[in-house]
Each structure stands twice: as C-alpha cells, then as structure tokens.
Amino acid sequence: MREYATQMEAARKGIVTEELKKAAQKERMSTEELLPLAAQGKVVICANRNHACIDPEGVGSMLRTKINVNIGVSRDCKDYDVEMEKVMEAVNLGAHAIMDLSSHGDTIPFRRKLISECPAMIGTVPVYDSVIHYQKDLADLTAQDFIDVVRLHAEDGVDFVTLHCGITRKTIDQIRKHKRKMNLVSRGGSLVFAWMCMTGEENPFYEYFDDILEICREYDVTISLGDACRPGCLADGSDVCQIEELVRLGELTKRAWEKDVQVMVEGPGHMPMDQIAANMKIQQSICMGAPFYVLGPIVTDIAPGYDHITSAIGGAIAAQNGAAFLCYVTPAEHLALPNVEDVKQGIIASKIAAHAADIAKGVRGAREIDDKMAEARRTLDWEAQWECAIDPAAAKKIREDRKPEHDDTCSMCGKFCAVRSMNKALSGEYIDIL
Amino acid sequence: MREYATQMEAARKGIVTEELKKAAQKERMSTEELLPLAAQGKVVICANRNHACIDPEGVGSMLRTKINVNIGVSRDCKDYDVEMEKVMEAVNLGAHAIMDLSSHGDTIPFRRKLISECPAMIGTVPVYDSVIHYQKDLADLTAQDFIDVVRLHAEDGVDFVTLHCGITRKTIDQIRKHKRKMNLVSRGGSLVFAWMCMTGEENPFYEYFDDILEICREYDVTISLGDACRPGCLADGSDVCQIEELVRLGELTKRAWEKDVQVMVEGPGHMPMDQIAANMKIQQSICMGAPFYVLGPIVTDIAPGYDHITSAIGGAIAAQNGAAFLCYVTPAEHLALPNVEDVKQGIIASKIAAHAADIAKGVRGAREIDDKMAEARRTLDWEAQWECAIDPAAAKKIREDRKPEHDDTCSMCGKFCAVRSMNKALSGEYIDIL
C-alpha cells in the first residue's frame, strides 16, 4: 500500500516519489527544488498508478516546455496500425505526451495497447468516447454514462483526461447573446454544449465534479480542465466567453487541489500575437500557477496547410510567457486527419517553438545544444552539425541534394562563404574567392 | 526634368509623386498621411529612376510588413532560368522585393533582364559583384572598383543596395578581442573585412560614403545599411560588436538623410526570442525611425532544414515590435542554395509572419481576410475557405487526399465536428453523432 493517493499528496507530505525523482533529474533539478512546486500544483507529474511503463515528466512553466501529440482514429480514417506508427514516430521524435482522440469503433483495445507500450504520458477526452463506448446517440446518454467513462479511462491507466467542466447552462445564453464569430470550436466542449441543449440538464462534468475528483484521486489521473470556449478565430480572442470560463476553471482548480488532485488548465486556440502574453499572465494569476496547456495559439486564420507554422509562432510566444505544455498542430489542421508525415512536421514545429521559448526563459541548460551547433558551424564541421540538428536526416538530405564543389563550403555561397573568409582572415591567410 | 532627385527630397518639398500615390493607396492611406513619413525617412519608397516597370511599395514600421526574396546563381548552382522561375513564383506569391545575390559568371544580363521584367523592388549587394565583375581576386580590388560597381548597379536600375558601411579597421581589433562564437556571418561583411585585413586599408564603403551618397541621390537608390556584425548564433546576440555597428549605422543614416538619400537599416540574424523586442526598439531609437530590415531573426540554431519556421517565429516578433521588412529564410538556409520549392516554402512562412505581425500591430485592414475565413469556417463553406487561404492549392490537396464521408465535415472529426454540432445546437436541431 503506498502512503499517498496522488503525486500532489505525496509532495505535500514531503514524500519523494520515484516519479518525482526521475522528473527532477530530467530538469537538472534537485528533488528539494521540484517537490514544493509539485505540492503547490505549479508542476504536475501525470502518472496514473496503472500506467506501469511510464517514463515520468514534470509539466510546469519553470520546466522545459513539454509537447503533446494528438492521434486516434476517426470514422473516415480508421486504421489503428497507422495510429500506432504515429505514436512510435512521435515518441522517437521526443513527444512527451500522446492524446488518443479516437472517435470511432471499439476504442478499448487500442487504448490499452497504447498504455501498455507507450512510455509517454497518455491523455484522452472521455466525452468523445462516451458516444462510441455506449453506441448511443448523444441525447440518449445520461450524466452517469459520462462519469462511468471517466472511471473506465482511469482504470485503463490514462494519465490525464480533458474534461470540459467550465461551461454551464448559463454558457448557452452567453453564446447566444454574445454572437461569437466561431461559437465553440472545442470538439468535446461542443458535445457537452449540444447535450445540454438537447437534454435541458446541467453539464455533468461541472455538476458531478466531486465524483470526478474521487475517481481522479483514486488512480492519480491529472485533470486537464478543457476550455470549451477557446477562441476559434482571431475575432473571438480574449472575449468574455473565454475569460469567464477561465475564471470558472480557476475555481475548479482550487476544488481539485483541496483533494490533492493534479490539474492542468487548457487555453487558446486562435489569438492575435499581441494578446498572447497577457493571456498567459492572466491564466497564471487566475489559476494560481497551475500549468497552462495551450492548443496553438494560431496567430492567423488564413493559413490552412501551414498551421504548424502559425502555431509555432503562437506557441513559442505562449511558452515564453508562461505556458508549460504545447499541443502540437499539424499542417492538416482544419482540413483532414493528419497522416504520418503531417504528424512529424507538427512535432518538429512544436519542438522548435518549445525549445526557442526555453532558451528565452532561461531554462537550465536549454541553450547548450545551440552553442554546440554554433561551434560546429564556425569550424565548418558538418558531421558535428548533424549531431546537433533537430532533424539530422532532413538537413543532410538538403545539403547532399546540391553538393558543393568545395567540401568545406555549401552550395549557397561556395567560396563566398563568410565563415571560411573569416577563418582565413583571422588567421592571417590569403583569401581566394574566385 | 523632374524637380527632385529622390522620393525623400520630393516628400520634403511637398511633391506628391506617382510612386508615393500608389504606395499610399496600397496601405489605404491618404497621400497626406504618407508624405510626412517619407519626408522624415520613416518610410522609404525604393524606386530607382531607371526601374521603369516598378510597382512601388512603401517600407516602414507603420505600413504592412514587406518581404524580400533572395535569389541568384552561385558557382555550384548556376542556371539563370531556374532563378528566373523563382522570381516569377515569388512575385506571384506576393513578394515585395527580390534581391539578386548572384556570385558567379556574367551577372549583367540577368540583372538587366530582372529589372526590365520584374515589378517588385530589386536589391543587390554590389560587393559580391565586384569580385565577379572584374574577375580579380579580392585582394587585388581597389576602393574605386567597389564604388564603380555601386554606380553600375545604380545605372542598371537597382532600387536598393546593401552596403556594409558600418565596419571600420577598428572592427578588426574588436572582433579579435571580443572572441565572438561565430565572428561575422554576413557574406558581404566578411568580404569587406577580409579585404581590409589583406590590404591594410579602411573600409571603402565607409571612407567614400559621400561619393556613394552622390550616386544614390542621382538614381534614387535606397541604401540598405548592411549589418556586417549581425549575430550568427544565439550566443552572439546583442553583443557589443552588433550594437556598436548599429550606432555607426545611425550616424550614417543621418548623413544620408542630409542629402535626401533614402535609407533602410539591416538587422539580426540569430537571436534568442527574449532579445528581439528590445533590439527593435533600440534600432528605432538609434536610427531615428529608419525602416528596419531584418534577416530572420532565427530563434534557435539547431533547426537546419526548418529555418523557415525558426525565422517565422523571430520575424513575426520582430515585425510586431517595429521591423518593417523581413528577409525570407528558406528550409535550405545554412545547407544549400534553395530550389524552387524551398523558395515557395520560405515565402509562405515569411508571409505568415508578416501578416500575423500586421494584425498584432493593428495595420489598417490587416485582419479582414481572417474574419472572412472565420465566416467561411463557421458556415462550413469550403470554397470560400480556399478563397481566403494563403495557399489554396496546398490546403485543398490535404482535404482531398483524405475525403470525408460527410461533405459538410472533414476527415479529422467527421460528425464530431464542433462547428456542425454548434450550428445544429444553436438552431435547435437534433444532433446526430453516431
């Protein structure tokens, strides 16, 4: 019998868990530094008691920024083998979390396989699965059905669950009255909203929040408080619907912490660049430092096919200003279910954003690899450059496609290479250019 | 005979030129608004008297952010037809400027063809061409040779020239003493530096700056003051070499303005995200509002193959904070001369950065297209979405590769589509999900 229910309770009792020890090591922190942050809820260590193979990571604004990769089948793309291939690719590329967003077929075997094989944190959105699990249409589900699926996922070993607890029946009026350009774009949020509209009942994830806390406490499932009202276009950014939900998420964070349940808070979405820093600061204040998990933010609405780039811009700014966890966005966002190549492109773009932010906020050791790359460039040591590169194979391929005449240069500048000229100039050599 | 030498002189005399009129229209500004900005040097209109087909644009921090595309042959990639293909692609994709950085062969015919056919602003770096034009090795060139090539480019109709006027013999000692990680990474800057080292003479672009101003005044060539000391890695960001050169560029800006010569100032480079805003503010102050033309900035050194993304992050932040002009960066940066596809990817990433920044700084009308896209998304009108997309063909292809079963959705969410659920919920319809 362990002496604590959750990582938060352990930290509060001063118990250094194995998971906390491993998470601290990865951050080059002592357990004495990390423990109070876990106790205060500023760092979460998502590690369900039933996820045996987990390689634990801390998530918090003062740690390395973590990235999440969404996978899962849909009615139109239902090949579980392809999804498992994406998972393996994601883990190899350094993803810290995998969210299984499957919305078709029998979801149990894949989820269990994922949890038994994948060392990254596993997240789900149980409300999707409710429809699938019971094979009942949305209006026919009961509040208890929703709660039971949360328990099922907890038993299966899911490390964090997105629950849209922050909207209520009042939100229906607010959305009608406020006339947002994009209403709700949260898939789970829209299901809860639609269910409330059809049944006339209150949001079960709000109404039965205490029951949910019991389940999450029992298995140490971290609640990722979903932002149903996250802006789905620039025009809706930072509007009253979004901010009022955030206030409610702050209240729910407090209630969860009272039961030692770990919490992350989800955030935008689509947002003009100039609003991002303010949004991060407000969340940190309203939610008392609970880790902010952002979905983007996407900084322009007009780039379908390139939303890995629009979200790399927004994600980097968000992480620099306090977001702890970035949900990747792929080039297929807004268009189709991502394929394996889209997944890769999405992960690389998120990693760039996370790493750039870590450097900017001075995360321990973050810039070391950049300094190594600079050394390798100054000495024109191409092998050493590949070793520092975020995607060595891709970089190598570009250089080798267009091989230069002179091995110490590249085909961009040839003997006009600034590095070559400077090395010769500073060592007093004659500089031949022609 | 026209009554003014340069657009700046015209503006100072209160003359509304055809070029200023067209540039104002594109910004939805009146000529009364734009004219004082051109007179003060806060906006440049790069339009050489000999560039007959130019479609003029203003460049300034309060206008839409402009983007530049580098092309040109090198010893390893010398096909001029491919370069012309890149130019046409660039102009079609909305590039505002083309810099011909050719460093091989007979450069005159291509430059003249470019200027006679391309309506975008044309820029060059005459110091590259000096070596090529005279077919002499660097050490054998005279100060007069360099100046004569500036005149040749001015006569040919080049709209702006990058000149590395801001380094002097003192810089040699400074670079030796300061031990930067990457020394100079500016190709032109390193040539000037190497020439000074080998000849023992002063930088001709600094020493004969007044002669250069005469040439630029005569043809209305805008000087783009090159930043030889721009940081080439994060570790060198905002160091004394960079900032001292910037101070000198501020002095030279003043001298140019005294002769009504238009000026842009070039800037970083590689730079940690948290330094970018400060750098933009300092340049605007030191250079009295002269437009800042940034090369990146690249926010991590470790992403060769993806530097269109690292620079989209840095460029967006730079433009939001005052940069007026972004030099595109392609996926081939640091590796090879970009091919046609790299050029396209580089342009799209720069356009995203520029547009996101324009929205953030409230440039007139910038967000209209985003609002249209949001409308199209809410109504699930796919044709209207393609019309708003930055690259309609790429977006369409992703959707059509993975066609959904239900035409009003996409294969990502199918009937779980939040937009579909919300539209039905708000109009009181029954929401079928299964």
Q: Are the Cβ atoms of B138 and A335 closer than 8 angstroms? A: no
b/e string for A280-319 if b means 16 or more Cβ within 10 A? Answer: bebbbebbbbbbbbbbbbbbbbbbbbbbbbbbbbbbbbbb
Evaluate the CA torsion angle A128, A132, A133, A136 in order and state its sign: positive
pLDDT digits (tens, 9 = 90+) for B330-351: 999 999 989 999 999 999 999 9
What is residue A406's predicted lDDT score, i.e. its pLDDT? 76
Nearest to B426 among A137, A176, A391 (CB): A176
Q: Are B414 and A103 in contact (CB under 8 A)?
A: yes
What is residue B78's predicted lDDT score, i.e. its pLDDT? 82
Q: Are the Cβ atoms of B299 and A317 closer than 8 angstroms? A: no
Q: By mean pLDDT, which of A117-131, B47-61, B396-410 is the weakest?
A: B396-410
Q: How far is CA A375 from CA A380, A415, A418, B213, in A?
A: 8, 20, 15, 39
Q: How many CB pairs under 8 A join A and B?
A: 399
Q: How far apart are CA B316 and CA B354, in angstroms?
A: 6
Q: Which residue in chain A is spatially nearest to B105 when comparing CA positions?
A: A434
Q: Which residue in chain A is spatially nearest to B390 when comparing CA positions?
A: A303
CA B99 from centroid of its chain's CA atoms: 9
Q: What is the SS3 assignment for A272? A: coil
Q: Which residue in chain A is spatially nearest to B174 when comparing CA positions?
A: A426
pLDDT digits (tens, 9 = 90+) for A281-311: 999 999 999 999 999 999 999 999 999 999 9
B55-70 mean pLDDT: 98
Residue A425 CB burial class (10 angstroms; 0-12, 13-18, ≥19): buried
Our CA-based measurement puts residue B170 at a distance from the nearest CA of chain A, in whole angstroms, of 14
Long-range contacts of B170-174 (CB under 8 A, 24+ apart): B171/B228, B171/B229, B171/B241, B171/B245, B172/B196, B172/B197, B174/B240, B174/B241, B174/B244
Nearest to A434 among B137, B331, B413 (CB): B137
Within 8 A by CB and 6+ apart from B65, the residues are B319, B323, B324, B325, B326, B353, B354, B355, B357, B358, B363
Question: What's chain A's average pLDDT?
Answer: 95
Residues in A touching B336 (Cβ below 8 Å): 398-399, 401-402, 404, 410-412
Which residue, among A114, A414, A390, has the nearest Cα to B102 in the 3D structure?
A414
Q: How far is CA B257 from CA B12, B43, B254, in A?
A: 11, 12, 5
Model confidence at B248, in pLDDT bands (50, 70, 90)?
Answer: very high
- The rounded percent of chain B whose pLDDT value lies above 90 is 90
What is residue B405's predicted lDDT score, i.e. its pLDDT? 76
* Superfamily of structural domain A7-361: Radical SAM ThiC family, central domain (3.20.20.540)
Per DSSP, which regions of A307-387 are E strands?
325-327
Q: How far apart are CA B237 and CA A82, in angstroms?
A: 43
Cis peptide before A60 (omega within 30 of 0): no
Query: Residue B408 pLDDT > 90, yes or no?
Result: no
Q: Which residue in chain B is spatially nearest to A104 when comparing CA positions?
A: B434
Query: Residue B92 pLDDT > 80, yes or no?
Result: yes
Query: Residue A387 pLDDT > 70, yes or no?
Result: yes
Model confidence at B105, in pLDDT bands (50, 70, 90)?
Answer: confident
Within 8 A by CB and 6+ apart from B44, the residues are B7, B8, B38, B58, B59, B60, B160, B222, B262, B263, B264, B290, B291
Q: How far apart are CA A47 and CA A38, in angstroms?
A: 13
Cis peptide before A232 (omega within 30 of 0): no
Q: What is the SS3 assignment for B382? A: helix
Give the side-chain half-sphere CA count within 13 A for B180: 28
Residues in A touching B390 (Cβ below 8 Å): 302-303, 305-306
CA B232 from centroid of its chain's CA atoms: 17
pLDDT digits (tens, 9 = 90+) for A244-257: 999 999 999 999 99
Residue A383 CB burial class (10 angstroms; 0-12, 13-18, ≥19): exposed
Q: Check CB contact of B78 with chain A, cutoff 8 Å.
A: no
Residues in B touching A320 (Cβ below 8 Å): 273-274
Model confidence at B236, in pLDDT bands (50, 70, 90)?
Answer: very high
Q: Are the Cβ atoms of A335 and B367 closer than 8 angstroms? A: no
Q: Which residues pair with B348 in a beta bridge?
A: none
Query: Residue B1 pLDDT > 90, yes or no?
Result: no
Q: How far apart are CA A344 and CA A293, in angstroms?
A: 20
Q: What is the SS3 assignment for A186? A: coil
Q: By mean pLDDT, which of A211-225, A263-277, B94-108, B156-170 is the weakest?
A: B94-108
Domain boundaries, chain A: 7-361, 368-426
- Residue A401 phi, psi dihedral angles, 5° rounding: -60, -35
Report the complex ipTM.
Answer: 0.97
Question: What's chain B's average pLDDT?
Answer: 95
Residue B370 tokens, joined: 């985003």
Q: How far apart are CA B118 and CA B141, in angstroms?
A: 31
Query: Residue B110 pLDDT > 80, yes or no?
Result: yes
pLDDT digits (tens, 9 = 90+) for A26-71: 999 999 999 999 999 999 999 999 999 999 999 999 999 999 999 9
What is residue A399's predicted lDDT score, i.e. its pLDDT? 93
Query: Residue A239 pLDDT > 70, yes or no?
Result: yes
Cα dihedral B91, A348, A59, A126 in deg (nearest 10): 90
Residue A2 CB burial class (10 angstroms; 0-12, 13-18, ≥19): exposed
B406-415 mean pLDDT: 79
Q: How far apart are CA B113 and CA B102, in angstroms?
A: 13
Residues in B touching A374 (Cβ below 8 Å): 181-182, 232-236, 301
Q: Check CB contact of B327 with chain A, cutoff 8 Å.
A: no
Model confidence at B139, in pLDDT bands (50, 70, 90)?
Answer: very high
What is residue A2's predicted lDDT score, i.e. its pLDDT? 83
pLDDT digits (tens, 9 = 90+) for B363-387: 999 999 999 999 999 999 999 999 9
Which residue, among A342, A187, A124, has the nearest Cα to B415 in the 3D structure?
A187
Query: Residue A119 pLDDT > 70, yes or no?
Result: yes
Q: Which residues pair with B100 in a beta bridge?
A: B71, B124
Cα dihedral B42, B47, B53, B55 in deg (nearest 10): 0
Nearest to A304 among B185, B193, B389 (CB): B389
pLDDT digits (tens, 9 = 90+) for A410-422: 777 888 899 999 9
pTM of the model: 0.97
- The rounded percent of chain B whose pLDDT value lies above 70 is 100
Query: Residue A405 pLDDT > 80, yes or no?
Result: no
Distance linking the first and last C-alpha atoms of chain A: 76
Q: By mean pLDDT, which of A367-376, B126-135, B299-308 is the weakest?
A: B126-135
Q: How far apart are CA B130 and CA B195, in angstroms?
A: 12
Q: How far apart are CA A246 and CA A226, in angstroms?
A: 10
User: Which of A93, A183, A421 has the highest number of chain B CBs within 10 A, making it the mutation to test binding with B?
Assistant: A421
Q: Which residues pair with A71 in a beta bridge?
A: A100
Q: Check CB contact of A433 with chain B, cutoff 8 Å.
A: yes
What is residue B406's predicted lDDT score, i.e. its pLDDT? 76
DSSP symbol at B64? P
Q: What is the SS3 assignment for A433? A: coil
What is residue B407's predicted lDDT score, i.e. its pLDDT? 74
Q: Are the Cβ atoms of A413 and B187 closer than 8 angstroms? A: yes
Q: How far apart are CA B32 and CA B24, in angstroms?
A: 9
Residues in B touching A180 (Cβ below 8 Å): none
DSSP symbol at B416? G
What is residue B402's predicted lDDT score, i.e. its pLDDT? 85
Q: Are B57 and B304 in contact (CB under 8 A)?
A: no
Strand (E) or helix (H) holding B219: helix B209-219
Q: Which residue in chain A is spatially nearest to B274 when comparing CA positions?
A: A360
